[in-house]
Amino acid sequence: MTLEQNISNAGLSGQQKVAKLPLVSVVVVAVVSGFFGGAVGLLMVGMMWWISGNPWVRDDAHSHGISEQDSSRLGGVIIALGYIGFAVVSSNQFSAASASGQEFASPLIAAESLFLWGLVAMVGMWDDFVSNIAAPARLTLVSIFSLLWVVIIPGVSQLEAYTWLPAVLAHEAVLVVACAFVTTAFVNAGNLADGANGLLSGICLAFFTFTFFEYSSQSIFALIMALMIFIVFNVGTGKIFLGDFGSYGLSSAVAMTALVMYGSGNYSMWLLASIVSYPCVELVRVFAHRAARKISPMQAGNDHTHNFLYRVFRQAGLGRIAANSLTGCSIAVVSAAIPAGLAMTGVLARTDTAAWLGYFVVYIVLHVATARLLKMSAEQSAA
């Protein structure tokens, strides 16, 4: 099969028509986006409206077991363009901080780091357009790019930040491999969690809001604004979602930023883990569940917590978009916004390892128990 045929297959056939968005919905989304994002926000909405109405690079309605409609996979592309746009228009606002040396050393702005971050995202884009890359090949490529990133970025694998390691593991080579593994694992976890409106994007928004609260970085500000406009359209219409380009790009951005922050020695590992807890815990839970049933952990499935919650909302009478968006937003708020808020308000100190470890353990217990209860509830209602 040729590349052109593969790309064509990623969209809808010529006989399938894409449902148009109601004009009222578009106007409401545009007003909200324009209020928060100005001209760049309106341009993002215009591009998402246009793309969502065309049969390019679309996802089957039942591929996630939750969307119930064909949606565009190009949300990540729009976020990338919005990120560039907001970075340009906000350059004067942050120039003083940069000149005084207060700009956060974000892994999303240095040229070499930005290049490798882009390569990780491009693995996802290739899968969006061609859809025939085997999972092991994707993981291998992401692992290679992540390893290169850890090696070339100073401060990521500093031994000073890992004094708790036993002596046999306290070597830079071990840390380099471990950090690359963390990045690769979280990219996979984020891609797995990208199944409901506002879910992964909301978690990333909470994480980067906390980061911006700490450092007031221009690059983080631009990403926050692009995420906000995307979430408004995604949650309000359900006609576009991140796609693999978006989930790979955002997940790797979170992992890279978290490693840089932890390397500074100013944050507990468990604080950062708590903010991104849903993808991490859900990845382990699903893999363990599938391993027990002797099912490949890499295959797609509808056995995720967000699938169960969505079914409960639908059985309660909510419409498909309302149930989808409420699923994603509620999980993002509970799993990410709450710990981010606790850290920003100082309720739990950023360096209090014992407190954040306790919080993370409690979350794991509640996550696993909730997933089980939601699954039972969905199955009983269906029966």
**What is the per-residue pLDDT across 195-226, written as a single tens digit (0 to 9) for each?**
789 999 999 999 999 999 998 888 899 999 99
Taking each helix axis as running N to C, give the angle between helix 320-332 and helix 199-215, from 0 to 180 degrees, rounded to the nearest 10.
Answer: 30
Q: Helix, strand, coil proportions of the chain in percent (round to 5)?
A: 70, 0, 25
Q: Which residues of 240-276 are buried (b: 16+ CB within 10 A; e: fewer)?
A: bbbbbbbbbbbbbbbbbbbbbbbbeeebbbbbbbbbb
C-beta separation of 84 from 214 below 8 A = no
Residue 59 confidence (pLDDT): 65
Q: Which residues of the chain have pLDDT under 50?
A: 1-17, 98-102
Joined together, the tokens standing for residue 34 give 């324009």
Joined together, the tokens standing for residue 155 give 């401060």
DSSP of 105-132, one letter per residue?
Answer: --TTTSHHHHHHHHHHHHHHHHHHHH--
* Amino acid code (one letter) for 373: L
Residue 218 confidence (pLDDT): 84
Tens of pLDDT along 286-329?
888 888 877 776 666 778 899 999 999 999 898 888 999 999 99
Chain centre distance of CA 300: 17
Residue 19 confidence (pLDDT): 54
DSSP of 251-293, one letter per residue?
Answer: HHHHHHHHHHHHHTTSS-HHHHHHHTHHHHHHHHHHHHHHHHT
